[in-house]
Structure 1
Amino acid sequence: MAINDLTGSVFGRWTVIKPSTKTSYFVCECSCGIIKDVRRDHLLSGKSKSCGCLVKEGHSRIYKGRPDRRSLNRVYGCMIGRCYNTKSDSYAYYGGRGITVCDEWKESFDVFAEWAYENGYKTGLTIDRIDNNKGYYPENCRIVTKQEQNNNKRNNVVLLIDGVRYTVTQAANKAGIKPSTVFNWIYRGATKNEVISKLKAVKWDA
Protein backbone atom coordinates (compact mmCIF):
# COMPACT_ATOMS: atom_id res chain seq x y z
CA MET A 1 0.00 0.00 0.00
CA ALA A 2 1.39 3.42 -0.96
CA ILE A 3 2.27 5.86 1.84
CA ASN A 4 -0.63 8.13 0.95
CA ASP A 5 -3.10 5.28 0.47
CA LEU A 6 -5.51 5.12 3.40
CA THR A 7 -7.21 1.89 2.31
CA GLY A 8 -8.25 -0.17 5.32
CA SER A 9 -7.85 2.71 7.77
CA VAL A 10 -10.67 3.64 10.14
CA PHE A 11 -11.59 7.25 10.92
CA GLY A 12 -14.47 7.59 13.34
CA ARG A 13 -17.25 5.59 11.70
CA TRP A 14 -15.59 5.61 8.28
CA THR A 15 -13.67 2.62 6.93
CA VAL A 16 -11.63 3.47 3.84
CA ILE A 17 -12.36 1.04 1.01
CA LYS A 18 -10.19 2.35 -1.81
CA PRO A 19 -8.96 5.55 -3.48
CA SER A 20 -11.68 7.43 -5.34
CA THR A 21 -11.50 8.44 -8.98
CA LYS A 22 -11.61 12.02 -7.66
CA THR A 23 -8.27 13.50 -6.68
CA SER A 24 -7.58 13.50 -2.91
CA TYR A 25 -10.79 11.57 -2.17
CA PHE A 26 -11.33 8.04 -0.88
CA VAL A 27 -14.32 5.75 -1.16
CA CYS A 28 -15.43 5.12 2.41
CA GLU A 29 -18.10 3.04 4.11
CA CYS A 30 -19.82 4.36 7.22
CA SER A 31 -20.66 1.90 9.99
CA CYS A 32 -24.34 2.51 9.20
CA GLY A 33 -23.79 1.14 5.67
CA ILE A 34 -23.63 4.37 3.65
CA ILE A 35 -20.83 4.51 1.06
CA LYS A 36 -19.53 7.81 -0.30
CA ASP A 37 -16.43 9.70 -1.37
CA VAL A 38 -14.70 11.59 1.44
CA ARG A 39 -11.86 14.09 1.21
CA ARG A 40 -8.53 12.77 2.47
CA ASP A 41 -7.76 15.86 4.57
CA HIS A 42 -11.20 15.69 6.19
CA LEU A 43 -10.52 12.11 7.27
CA LEU A 44 -7.08 12.90 8.65
CA SER A 45 -8.16 16.05 10.48
CA GLY A 46 -11.28 14.46 11.96
CA LYS A 47 -13.55 16.94 10.22
CA SER A 48 -15.51 14.03 8.79
CA LYS A 49 -16.28 11.20 11.21
CA SER A 50 -19.42 9.74 9.66
CA CYS A 51 -21.95 10.16 6.87
CA GLY A 52 -23.99 12.37 9.16
CA CYS A 53 -25.58 9.64 11.26
CA LEU A 54 -23.35 10.55 14.21
CA VAL A 55 -24.74 14.08 14.24
CA LYS A 56 -28.31 12.82 13.92
CA GLU A 57 -27.81 10.47 16.86
CA GLY A 58 -26.33 13.36 18.83
CA HIS A 59 -29.39 15.46 18.05
CA SER A 60 -31.64 12.63 19.20
CA ARG A 61 -29.73 12.26 22.46
CA ILE A 62 -29.67 16.00 23.17
CA TYR A 63 -33.29 16.68 22.31
CA LYS A 64 -34.97 13.45 23.39
CA GLY A 65 -37.98 14.36 25.51
CA ARG A 66 -37.14 18.08 25.32
CA PRO A 67 -40.22 20.19 24.50
CA ASP A 68 -38.16 23.31 25.27
CA ARG A 69 -35.85 23.13 22.24
CA ARG A 70 -37.67 25.99 20.51
CA SER A 71 -37.33 28.33 23.48
CA LEU A 72 -33.64 27.48 23.83
CA ASN A 73 -33.20 28.21 20.13
CA ARG A 74 -34.59 31.70 20.77
CA VAL A 75 -32.15 32.21 23.66
CA TYR A 76 -29.31 31.15 21.36
CA GLY A 77 -30.48 33.37 18.50
CA CYS A 78 -30.73 36.40 20.77
CA MET A 79 -27.26 35.73 22.16
CA ILE A 80 -25.72 35.52 18.69
CA GLY A 81 -27.73 38.49 17.40
CA ARG A 82 -26.76 40.98 20.09
CA CYS A 83 -23.10 40.06 19.69
CA TYR A 84 -22.83 39.98 15.88
CA ASN A 85 -25.88 41.57 14.26
CA THR A 86 -25.10 45.28 13.89
CA LYS A 87 -28.81 45.95 13.28
CA SER A 88 -29.82 44.51 16.66
CA ASP A 89 -31.13 47.07 19.16
CA SER A 90 -28.78 45.57 21.76
CA TYR A 91 -25.66 45.34 19.57
CA ALA A 92 -24.12 48.56 20.91
CA TYR A 93 -24.19 47.12 24.42
CA TYR A 94 -22.77 43.72 23.46
CA GLY A 95 -20.91 43.23 20.18
CA GLY A 96 -20.30 46.97 19.99
CA ARG A 97 -18.27 46.88 23.18
CA GLY A 98 -16.41 43.66 22.46
CA ILE A 99 -18.69 41.01 23.95
CA THR A 100 -18.36 37.82 21.90
CA VAL A 101 -19.52 34.20 21.89
CA CYS A 102 -16.92 31.43 22.19
CA ASP A 103 -16.18 29.64 18.93
CA GLU A 104 -17.63 26.28 19.96
CA TRP A 105 -21.02 27.86 20.73
CA LYS A 106 -20.96 30.32 17.86
CA GLU A 107 -20.32 27.55 15.35
CA SER A 108 -22.74 24.97 16.76
CA PHE A 109 -26.15 25.36 18.37
CA ASP A 110 -25.97 21.69 19.35
CA VAL A 111 -22.81 22.22 21.41
CA PHE A 112 -24.47 25.17 23.14
CA ALA A 113 -27.67 23.16 23.69
CA GLU A 114 -25.79 20.27 25.27
CA TRP A 115 -24.11 22.65 27.72
CA ALA A 116 -27.42 24.39 28.48
CA TYR A 117 -29.32 21.17 29.19
CA GLU A 118 -26.48 19.81 31.32
CA ASN A 119 -26.71 23.02 33.35
CA GLY A 120 -30.44 22.79 33.95
CA TYR A 121 -32.06 24.71 31.08
CA LYS A 122 -35.83 24.53 30.70
CA THR A 123 -38.46 26.84 29.25
CA GLY A 124 -38.59 30.15 31.10
CA LEU A 125 -34.90 30.21 32.01
CA THR A 126 -32.17 32.12 30.23
CA ILE A 127 -28.39 32.43 29.98
CA ASP A 128 -26.55 34.84 32.25
CA ARG A 129 -22.94 36.03 32.21
CA ILE A 130 -21.33 35.93 35.66
CA ASP A 131 -19.00 38.79 34.73
CA ASN A 132 -20.92 41.24 32.54
CA ASN A 133 -17.69 42.61 31.08
CA LYS A 134 -16.71 39.23 29.65
CA GLY A 135 -18.19 37.17 26.83
CA TYR A 136 -20.34 34.10 26.46
CA TYR A 137 -18.34 30.96 27.24
CA PRO A 138 -18.99 28.03 29.61
CA GLU A 139 -16.87 29.28 32.51
CA ASN A 140 -18.57 32.69 32.50
CA CYS A 141 -22.16 31.58 31.98
CA ARG A 142 -24.94 29.98 33.97
CA ILE A 143 -28.60 29.14 33.47
CA VAL A 144 -30.86 31.32 35.61
CA THR A 145 -34.34 32.79 35.89
CA LYS A 146 -35.01 36.25 34.44
CA GLN A 147 -35.20 37.63 37.99
CA GLU A 148 -31.80 36.17 38.90
CA GLN A 149 -30.36 37.65 35.72
CA ASN A 150 -31.75 41.07 36.57
CA ASN A 151 -30.40 40.81 40.12
CA ASN A 152 -26.96 39.98 38.76
CA LYS A 153 -27.00 43.04 36.55
CA ARG A 154 -28.30 45.27 39.33
CA ASN A 155 -26.06 43.98 42.11
CA ASN A 156 -22.97 44.63 39.99
CA VAL A 157 -23.82 48.28 39.47
CA VAL A 158 -22.70 51.12 41.71
CA LEU A 159 -22.50 54.42 39.85
CA LEU A 160 -19.79 56.92 40.70
CA ILE A 161 -21.08 60.28 39.48
CA ASP A 162 -19.13 63.47 40.14
CA GLY A 163 -17.31 61.75 43.00
CA VAL A 164 -20.49 60.46 44.68
CA ARG A 165 -21.55 56.79 44.81
CA TYR A 166 -25.17 56.05 43.86
CA THR A 167 -27.29 52.95 43.64
CA VAL A 168 -29.29 52.68 40.43
CA THR A 169 -32.46 53.73 42.24
CA GLN A 170 -30.77 56.74 43.84
CA ALA A 171 -29.30 57.86 40.53
CA ALA A 172 -32.62 57.42 38.72
CA ASN A 173 -34.46 59.45 41.36
CA LYS A 174 -31.90 62.23 41.16
CA ALA A 175 -32.31 62.34 37.37
CA GLY A 176 -36.08 62.38 37.72
CA ILE A 177 -36.74 59.13 35.86
CA LYS A 178 -38.05 55.71 36.84
CA PRO A 179 -35.47 53.23 38.21
CA SER A 180 -36.95 50.63 35.84
CA THR A 181 -35.78 52.75 32.91
CA VAL A 182 -32.19 52.62 34.13
CA PHE A 183 -32.46 48.91 34.92
CA ASN A 184 -33.62 48.39 31.34
CA TRP A 185 -30.50 50.15 30.04
CA ILE A 186 -28.41 47.83 32.19
CA TYR A 187 -30.42 44.78 31.12
CA ARG A 188 -29.66 45.67 27.51
CA GLY A 189 -25.95 45.70 28.34
CA ALA A 190 -25.09 49.38 28.83
CA THR A 191 -21.78 50.04 30.59
CA LYS A 192 -21.59 52.20 33.72
CA ASN A 193 -20.21 55.13 31.72
CA GLU A 194 -23.02 54.78 29.19
CA VAL A 195 -25.62 54.74 31.98
CA ILE A 196 -24.10 57.85 33.55
CA SER A 197 -24.08 59.65 30.20
CA LYS A 198 -27.74 58.76 29.65
CA LEU A 199 -28.67 59.98 33.14
CA LYS A 200 -26.95 63.31 32.61
CA ALA A 201 -28.50 63.67 29.17
CA VAL A 202 -31.99 63.33 30.67
CA LYS A 203 -31.59 65.63 33.66
CA TRP A 204 -29.06 65.84 36.42
CA ASP A 205 -29.12 68.25 39.35
CA ALA A 206 -25.52 68.79 40.37
Structure 2
Amino acid sequence: MKKQEHQLFYTWVGMMYRCYKPYHKHYKYYGAKGVKVCSKWHDFWGFIDDVDNHLLNGHLLYEKRYQLDKDINGGKVYSLENCVVTLKTKNENASRSKQQKKILVVSDKEEIEFKSLAETCQKLNIKRSTLISCLKRGNRHKKTGCIFKYL
Protein backbone atom coordinates (compact mmCIF):
# COMPACT_ATOMS: atom_id res chain seq x y z
CA MET A 1 0.00 0.00 0.00
CA LYS A 2 1.18 3.50 -0.80
CA LYS A 3 1.40 5.71 2.25
CA GLN A 4 -0.84 8.30 0.56
CA GLU A 5 -3.62 5.71 0.55
CA HIS A 6 -3.28 4.87 4.24
CA GLN A 7 -6.14 6.04 6.48
CA LEU A 8 -3.77 7.90 8.85
CA PHE A 9 -1.64 9.55 6.18
CA TYR A 10 -3.25 12.97 6.56
CA THR A 11 -3.09 12.75 10.35
CA TRP A 12 0.67 12.30 9.99
CA VAL A 13 1.00 14.99 7.31
CA GLY A 14 -0.92 17.48 9.47
CA MET A 15 1.33 16.77 12.44
CA MET A 16 4.48 17.21 10.34
CA TYR A 17 3.26 20.39 8.63
CA ARG A 18 2.17 22.03 11.91
CA CYS A 19 5.66 21.47 13.27
CA TYR A 20 7.91 22.09 10.27
CA LYS A 21 6.18 24.16 7.58
CA PRO A 22 6.09 27.91 8.43
CA TYR A 23 3.40 28.50 5.80
CA HIS A 24 0.96 26.12 7.55
CA LYS A 25 -1.86 28.08 9.23
CA HIS A 26 -1.19 26.44 12.63
CA TYR A 27 2.62 26.54 12.54
CA LYS A 28 2.55 29.56 14.89
CA TYR A 29 1.03 27.33 17.61
CA TYR A 30 3.40 24.40 17.05
CA GLY A 31 6.69 24.71 15.17
CA ALA A 32 7.16 28.37 16.06
CA LYS A 33 6.80 27.40 19.74
CA GLY A 34 9.36 24.61 19.54
CA VAL A 35 7.01 21.65 19.09
CA LYS A 36 8.74 18.81 17.27
CA VAL A 37 8.13 15.25 16.08
CA CYS A 38 10.38 12.42 17.33
CA SER A 39 12.84 11.07 14.77
CA LYS A 40 11.06 7.70 14.40
CA TRP A 41 7.83 9.48 13.44
CA HIS A 42 9.53 11.52 10.71
CA ASP A 43 9.14 8.31 8.77
CA PHE A 44 5.44 7.63 8.08
CA TRP A 45 5.82 3.87 8.55
CA GLY A 46 7.60 4.40 11.89
CA PHE A 47 4.59 6.44 13.01
CA ILE A 48 2.19 3.70 11.86
CA ASP A 49 4.25 1.01 13.60
CA ASP A 50 3.91 2.84 16.94
CA VAL A 51 0.21 3.63 16.45
CA ASP A 52 -0.67 0.06 15.48
CA ASN A 53 1.59 -1.86 17.85
CA HIS A 54 2.62 0.27 20.82
CA LEU A 55 0.37 3.29 21.44
CA LEU A 56 -2.33 2.60 24.01
CA ASN A 57 -5.68 2.70 22.17
CA GLY A 58 -3.84 3.54 18.93
CA HIS A 59 -6.48 1.62 16.99
CA LEU A 60 -9.00 4.36 17.90
CA LEU A 61 -7.13 6.86 15.69
CA TYR A 62 -8.74 5.09 12.76
CA GLU A 63 -12.08 6.52 13.92
CA LYS A 64 -12.81 10.14 13.00
CA ARG A 65 -13.90 11.09 16.53
CA TYR A 66 -10.42 10.47 18.01
CA GLN A 67 -7.18 12.43 17.76
CA LEU A 68 -3.58 12.21 18.85
CA ASP A 69 -2.75 14.57 21.73
CA LYS A 70 0.73 15.48 22.99
CA ASP A 71 -0.39 18.06 25.57
CA ILE A 72 -2.11 15.85 28.14
CA ASN A 73 1.27 14.44 29.18
CA GLY A 74 2.83 17.90 28.93
CA GLY A 75 5.19 17.28 26.05
CA LYS A 76 6.52 19.46 23.28
CA VAL A 77 7.40 16.43 21.19
CA TYR A 78 5.03 14.21 19.27
CA SER A 79 6.26 10.76 20.31
CA LEU A 80 5.12 7.43 21.68
CA GLU A 81 6.12 8.59 25.18
CA ASN A 82 4.17 11.87 25.09
CA CYS A 83 1.11 11.12 22.99
CA VAL A 84 -2.26 9.73 23.97
CA VAL A 85 -5.41 9.04 22.00
CA THR A 86 -8.28 11.31 23.03
CA LEU A 87 -11.72 12.27 21.83
CA LYS A 88 -11.60 15.00 19.19
CA THR A 89 -14.13 17.13 21.13
CA LYS A 90 -12.09 16.91 24.34
CA ASN A 91 -8.90 17.83 22.49
CA GLU A 92 -10.51 20.80 20.73
CA ASN A 93 -12.03 22.14 23.96
CA ALA A 94 -8.69 21.87 25.75
CA SER A 95 -6.95 23.60 22.86
CA ARG A 96 -9.46 26.45 22.83
CA SER A 97 -9.22 27.08 26.56
CA LYS A 98 -5.42 26.97 26.39
CA GLN A 99 -5.40 29.64 23.68
CA GLN A 100 -7.58 32.01 25.69
CA LYS A 101 -5.54 34.82 27.13
CA LYS A 102 -6.51 36.61 30.31
CA ILE A 103 -6.92 40.36 30.05
CA LEU A 104 -6.06 42.91 32.72
CA VAL A 105 -8.11 46.11 32.57
CA VAL A 106 -6.51 49.08 34.30
CA SER A 107 -8.50 52.21 35.06
CA ASP A 108 -7.70 55.17 37.32
CA LYS A 109 -9.72 53.54 40.10
CA GLU A 110 -9.13 49.78 39.82
CA GLU A 111 -7.68 46.77 38.02
CA ILE A 112 -10.02 44.03 36.79
CA GLU A 113 -8.98 40.66 35.41
CA PHE A 114 -11.05 38.93 32.72
CA LYS A 115 -10.55 35.35 31.56
CA SER A 116 -10.78 36.04 27.82
CA LEU A 117 -11.14 38.61 25.05
CA ALA A 118 -14.79 37.62 24.64
CA GLU A 119 -15.61 38.18 28.31
CA THR A 120 -13.82 41.56 28.32
CA CYS A 121 -15.73 42.72 25.24
CA GLN A 122 -19.05 41.55 26.63
CA LYS A 123 -18.67 43.03 30.12
CA LEU A 124 -17.30 46.39 28.94
CA ASN A 125 -19.40 46.59 25.76
CA ILE A 126 -16.35 47.05 23.52
CA LYS A 127 -15.91 45.77 19.98
CA ARG A 128 -13.41 42.91 19.67
CA SER A 129 -11.41 44.76 16.99
CA THR A 130 -11.19 47.85 19.23
CA LEU A 131 -9.96 45.79 22.18
CA ILE A 132 -7.34 44.03 20.07
CA SER A 133 -6.17 47.38 18.72
CA CYS A 134 -5.81 48.78 22.27
CA LEU A 135 -3.90 45.64 23.35
CA LYS A 136 -1.49 45.86 20.41
CA ARG A 137 -0.84 49.60 20.69
CA GLY A 138 -1.01 49.88 24.45
CA ASN A 139 -3.16 53.00 24.17
CA ARG A 140 -6.06 54.07 26.40
CA HIS A 141 -9.59 53.22 25.26
CA LYS A 142 -11.39 56.53 24.54
CA LYS A 143 -14.84 55.67 25.98
CA THR A 144 -13.76 53.79 29.11
CA GLY A 145 -10.42 55.47 29.77
CA CYS A 146 -8.96 52.00 30.45
CA ILE A 147 -5.69 50.44 29.40
CA PHE A 148 -5.71 46.73 28.49
CA LYS A 149 -2.91 44.21 28.95
CA TYR A 150 -2.50 40.49 28.33
CA LEU A 151 -1.67 38.42 31.40
Alignment TM class, shorter chain as reference? 0.5 to 0.7
Q: Which residue in the other structure is 1:136 paired with?
A: 78
Q: 1: distance between equivalents of 2:15 and 2:21?
A: 10
Q: 2: distance between equivalents of 1:72 and 1:140?
A: 19
The Cα of 1:203 is off from its aligned counterpart by 6.7
Is 1:173 the counterpart of 2:108 in the alignment?
no
Q: Which residue in the other structure is 1:201 paired with?
A: 132
The Cα of 1:202 is off from its aligned counterpart by 5.5
Identity level (%): 23
Q: CA RMSD in A?
A: 3.2
Taking the TM superposition and a 5 Å limit, the aligned residue runs for 1:13-52 are none
The Cα of 1:142 is off from its aligned counterpart by 1.2
Q: 1: distance between equivalents of 2:12 and 2:29?
A: 17
Q: Which residue in the other structure is 1:123 paired with?
A: 63
- Matched residue SS, 1:172: helix
- Matched residue SS, 2:8: helix
Higher relative contact order (CA 8 A, sep 6+): 2
* Structure with the greater alpha carbon radius of gyration: 1
The Cα of 1:144 is off from its aligned counterpart by 2.1
AA of the residue aligned to 2:77: G
Runs of 4+ deviating beyond 3 Å: 154-160, 202-206
Distance 1:152 1:85, change over 3 A: same
Show structure 2 runs of 5+ residues with no match.
Answer: 105-111, 123-128, 136-143, 147-151
Q: TM-score, normalised by structure 1?
A: 0.46
Is 1:110 the counterpart of 2:45 in the alignment?
yes
Q: 2: distance between equivalents of 1:158 and 1:93?
A: 13
Taking the TM superposition and a 5 Å limit, the aligned residue runs for 1:125-164 are 125-129=66-70, 130-131=72-73, 134-154=76-96, 156=98, 159-162=101-104, 164=113
Q: 2: distance between equivalents of 1:199 and 1:99?
A: 32
The Cα of 1:95 is off from its aligned counterpart by 0.8
- Matched residue SS, 1:139: coil
Number of aligned pairs? 115
Show structure 1 runs of 5+ residues with no match.
Answer: 1-58, 64-68, 177-197
Cα contact 1:175–1:203 (8 A) shared by 2: no
Q: TM-score, normalised by structure 2?
A: 0.60
The Cα of 1:137 is off from its aligned counterpart by 1.5
